[in-house]
Structure 1
Amino acid sequence: MVLADDEAMIRAGVKAILATDPEINVVAEAADGHEAIALTLEHRPDVVLMDIRMPVMDGLAATAEIKRQVPQTSVLVLTTFSEDSYVARALGDGASGFMLKSGDPRELLTGVHAAAAGASYLSAKVAERVIAELNRGSGRQAESRGAAAQQRVSALTEREKEVLALVGGGLSNADIGRRLHVVEGTVKSYVSAIFTALGVRNRVQAAIIAYEAGLVTDREA
């Protein structure tokens, strides 16, 4: 994977956490968005762990460009509580998930593995903050978003709702298949049908709807 953060001490700390997992290999480090893009093009990693605030080019712009040029690479965004609005904006840029810099190191490892497997991973605390950001305004607006999510989800079959909840919990298609005792190809078909029914483009957007509709009651990862 490629690790992108403009602060050397942060990179060192995150790299030390990642080094505790023998299945994760950091092949390069970047200090700005342009460098992150160049290293991604060079190494074609499974995952880029991307900070949002960086000089020259920020993480949001770099994420969008990486997903345009190397769509098979997953981008996991590192964020802080002060950057909720940025997280909300990034939902449409193809990021595979969002992790808190101050979060549990074990959750970081889980998120990286989920992204590498092609799944989404939304830290539970980040999900709460993103939904709060999306619902910013009156309580009536928040209720309206929740009701709208429930209405969208109501068009799904019970099995599709079950799959959506697991997507919201950060499970990959393979993990969902094992959980539901079906082949991965069947899960892919369910996920595709869910995306179409909900009108979303990626797993993170689907996960947000799952949270808003109350389908995700705990972390499944």
Structure 2
Amino acid sequence: MRKTTIERTGSPLVLDTPITAWATKAACKGEELELFFGPDHEKQADREKREQEALSICRTCTVVSECLEAALSQGARQWGVQGGMTADRRRTARKGRDKLAVEEAPAPKPKKPQRLSTERVDVVGTMRRLQALAVIGHSPKAIGAVIGASSSYLNDLRTGGTRMASVSVEVADALAREYPRLVRTPPGVQSALTMRNAAKQGWDGPPAWVGVDMDDPAARPRETAAAA
């Protein structure tokens, strides 16, 4: 059976995320992907030995800090050895960083729901963005506070349905504008519940739409490492 190696970009992280310049300089380029992520049903002793071998490669890497920052930004998607840390260590590091960010950042002032015009556009792009944000923990209530739309309206748009074939142009434009920033923003207190619901629905997260026109009804999400 042929082993999968890290060839295309030089980092296991970016197999299902945007390709960045630093990734091509990663020390793991050419190494077996299984070394960093492990096989199914791996015994703990084997995992610890494998992780130490993977970490030894990370210690020689000149872009390990960039890799770690990118890995920490993935939210709940924490697995494998990335950025010179195991998944357990990154979870601990991310919790501490998110707590600090919440304590230091001023609470955003919620926008009042705006009065919507009669102009409407296809709902598909808005629905995909709402579903992708749910995968990383952003609830309709949290998104509504940012773009000035009611949580119930956003929830209806997110779940789709025959009566939701279109969306007001104000909501569609506001969400498209704020989507890149929301992808990089830690979710709120309801994130765990939101992510569980998204996983149950089988929605596609932000990495699946990288390089894809989310507003094109005929477009399909990319195959990601998580879905493979």
TM-score (norm 2): 0.26
Higher RCO, 1 vs 2 (CA within 8 Å, ≥6 residues apart): 2
Question: Which has the larger strand fraction?
Answer: 1
TM-score (norm 1): 0.27
Question: Which has the larger helix fraction?
Answer: 1
Structure number with greater Rg is 2
